[in-house]
Structure 1
């Protein structure tokens, strides 16, 4: 993927780009506050499939296009057609769940880079990411109660893990808009930045992640997922990935670099 042109998806409403070992997924409807259409939900899954097929990607960023917002969440303007009755709502919700799962189960670290509004389904996507950083302009809301609908249960797991049970209840029951400082205090976001510094800070963090051994990061992500899910299958997967690190060339390189007092150069093998 390195040094290739960016790839537009969903008629350009999502852009997948990459630089060195960092892939970026951009929600590209700034005139609509980057609201996510039904087609975009499906193409989020496709974007992560393309990333998974690339051997040289080590970290993924998600962000909103333009200079104002991460995303307003699902495009409510489509609801009269795409979510008009129980049958269409079920299909729409499945596309939501598939997108959340693609973020959650990406084997690489995923970082959500948030400025402006991050509402509804977009908050679900951010919650499914491993890490979230934001600018002081960021605000968050889960307005299901104001729309008379519910979110998929798997998305709710992500929100509870991101915000904690009590604060997740507060956000869902009240549907209030939460500012960036409150989100930081609640642990929803990792750090706050000036708007002009946000992307640079994201790239710096992503570069630090990419400099570490890819197999170690994959094993760590799987182990954290197992610790949260308590799933026997997840523990088995984490165990296999952990064992692979000890037979890797990167493990040899890490030990050698330590002895030679230099920075290791990891190859992901």
Structure 2
């Protein structure tokens, strides 16, 4: 059955449907979904709850309020929690854990972006597998206006999302760019009218949830291994791929093909 829960006093919510579609929502609309330190540190728990406890097959991450994805980190905390290099290292460990929770999530993560997607909010979207936006989306990386630097892993995600030249341009200039520009750069998989965004994102999530879960997980592991060039990641991806050929779902997929029907995958 579907389920939902919340973290960080309700500012991060997680829900999953009966069909295995998970959703993580940044729930601070009155602050343009800016993330506090507690929210950053809650995100890994939200993703773990969905994948480990609830067996979600795909996860959508979005912002509450139908207006903005996220303005990034709550700058109001910086005077105390990010005031120097020592405190910044502690603070940014929470940022990096949140980015990693998305990047290394065993199932695909779709970022549904509308409105502002700035700074650390852009970092969260950049860590996702797929980014889909509506025409109101705006992107920026304002670190150089604040006089700080982003964590290395976040910059690497931005390079993957934007490409080398566009990432340099965005980081150095702090220039804001539109959803249309983001789409042209290859940062977005698709761009939709505001009224259509939820429908299109949900349709994609449903298609992923209906696919064989072990196959989808193996594909994500293989893509991540290619990105990281890590030998252990390659070995893990290879094991996941091998396991699909011994799975119940592989037998079901073959039967469904010969019987000309839609397969019913169990994830086993």
Q: Distance in 2 between matches of 1:258 and 1:210?
A: 18
Matched, 1:245 2:244: yes
1:206-245 equivalences in 2 (<5 Å): 206-245=205-244
**2:36 aligned residue:** 37
Cα displacement (A) at 1:196: 1.3
- Structure 2 residue corresponding to 1:19, chosen from 12, 17, 20: 17
Matched, 1:65 2:58: no
Task: Kindly provide the CA deviation profile for residues 25-67 of structure 1, in whole angstroms up to 9, marking residues without a partner as x.
Answer: 0001111000000000000011012122235310000000002
Task: Kindly provide the CA deviation profile for residues 224-248 of structure 1, in whole angstroms up to 9, marking residues without a partner as x.
Answer: 1111111111110100000000000
1:115-264 equivalences in 2 (<5 Å): 115-264=114-263
Instruction: Find the residue that maps to 2:148 and give its secondary structure.
Output: coil
Q: Which runs of 4+ in 1 moved over 3 A?
A: none
**1:95 aligned residue:** 94
Q: Distance in 2 between matches of 1:231 and 1:12?
A: 36
Which residues of structure 1 form unaligned runs of 5+? Answer: none
Task: Kindly provide the CA deviation profile for residues 98-126 of structure 1, in whole angstroms up to 9, marking residues without a partner as x.
Answer: 11011111000000000000000011110
Cα displacement (A) at 1:267: 0.4
Cα displacement (A) at 1:162: 0.8
Assess if the C-alpha contact under 8 Å between 2:16 and 2:54 holds in 1: no
Instruction: Find the residue that maps to 2:261 and give its secondary structure.
Output: coil
Task: Kindly provide the CA deviation profile for residues 150-188 of structure 1, in whole angstroms up to 9, marking residues without a partner as x.
Answer: 111111111111111111101101110010000000011
**1:49 aligned residue:** 48
Q: Distance in 1 between matches of 2:52 and 2:216?
A: 17
Q: Distance in 2 between matches of 1:142 and 1:55?
A: 34
TM-score normalized by structure 2?
0.98
Q: Distance in 2 between matches of 1:124 and 1:158?
A: 7
**1:82 aligned residue:** 81
Kindly tell me the number of residue pairs found equivalent between the two proteins: 267
Q: For the aligned residues, what is the CA RMSD?
A: 0.9
Task: Kindly provide the CA deviation profile for residues 191-236 of structure 1, in whole angstroms up to 9, marking residues without a partner as x.
Answer: 0111111111111000000010000000000001111111111110
Q: Distance in 2 between matches of 1:195 and 1:77?
A: 30
Cα displacement (A) at 1:3: 2.1
Which residues of structure 2 form unaligned runs of 5+? Answer: none
**2:108 aligned residue:** 109
Q: Distance in 2 between matches of 1:225 and 1:53?
A: 19
